[in-house]
């Protein structure tokens, strides 16, 4: 049985990080066990996606650089940058390399926004959702009463 590597992009552009779908040992189906780890339902062989490989390497080698992780695990630099944006990985505190906040440009170690901008962004989103919920009911009683039919003005017959 020939095994094909499958990489999918989810509905929101999320990376699948080279998830193992088929067991490389017996051809069975791989079941997610958590933190990037998968186990074959038939032979119980364990395999890791890109996140699991990177995480395991970082745990064994604290302070490893992204180039070193990529070279030793085979995880692409692009996948690691995506994991940093998703806050699945974090840049070491003693590193001189940082990412920039998408709104104010301050240095950050993970994600896309600093804590201050993230808080204001979420507060604004909550306000918009609350306003949307408050306005959702207007006009509904007329629609229910007339079952969505058009309303016509009757011509004045006294003229």
> What's the whole-model pTM score?
0.64
Q: What is the pLDDT along the chain (159 residues), one digit of tens a residue?
A: 343 444 444 444 556 788 999 999 999 999 999 889 999 999 999 999 999 999 999 999 888 888 899 999 999 988 988 998 888 888 887 777 788 999 999 989 899 999 999 999 999 999 999 888 887 766 544 445 556 666 666 676 665
Token look-up 């890791």 returns: 48
Query: For 68-113, how does the pLDDT look when each residue is reduced to its tens digit (9 = 90+)?
Result: 999 999 999 889 889 988 888 888 877 777 889 999 999 898 999 9
Q: What was the pLDDT predicted at 135?
A: 78
Nearest Cα to Cα of residue 65 among 79, 48, 56, 77: 77
Q: What was the pLDDT predicted at 137?
A: 64
Q: What was the pLDDT predicted at 121?
A: 92
Cα–Cα distance measured from residue 105 to residue 82, given in angstroms and rounded to the nearest whole number: 18
Domain locations in the chain as residue ranges: 1-113, 116-146
Cα–Cα distance measured from residue 42 to residue 26, given in angstroms and rounded to the nearest whole number: 8
């Amino acid at each position: 049985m020939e095994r094909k590597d499958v990489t999918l992009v989810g509905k929101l552009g999320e990376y699948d990080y080279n998830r193992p779908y088929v067991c490389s040992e017996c051809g069975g189906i791989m079941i997610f066990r958590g933190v990037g780890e998968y186990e074959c339902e038939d032979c119980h062989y364990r395999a890791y996606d890109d996140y699991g490989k990177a995480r395991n390497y970082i745990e064994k080698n604290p302070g490893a650089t992204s180039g070193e992780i990529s070279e030793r695990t085979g995880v692409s630099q692009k996948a690691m940058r995506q994991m940093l944006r998703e806050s699945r990985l974090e840049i070491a505190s003693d590193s001189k390399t940082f990412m920039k906040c998408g709104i104010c440009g301050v240095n950050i170690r993970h994600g896309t926004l600093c804590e201050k901008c993230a808080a204001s962004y979420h507060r604004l989103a909550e306000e918009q959702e609350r306003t949307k919920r408050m306005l959702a009911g207007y006009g509904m009683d007329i629609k229910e009463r007339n079952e969505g039919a058009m309303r016509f003005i009757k011509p004045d017959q006294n003229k």
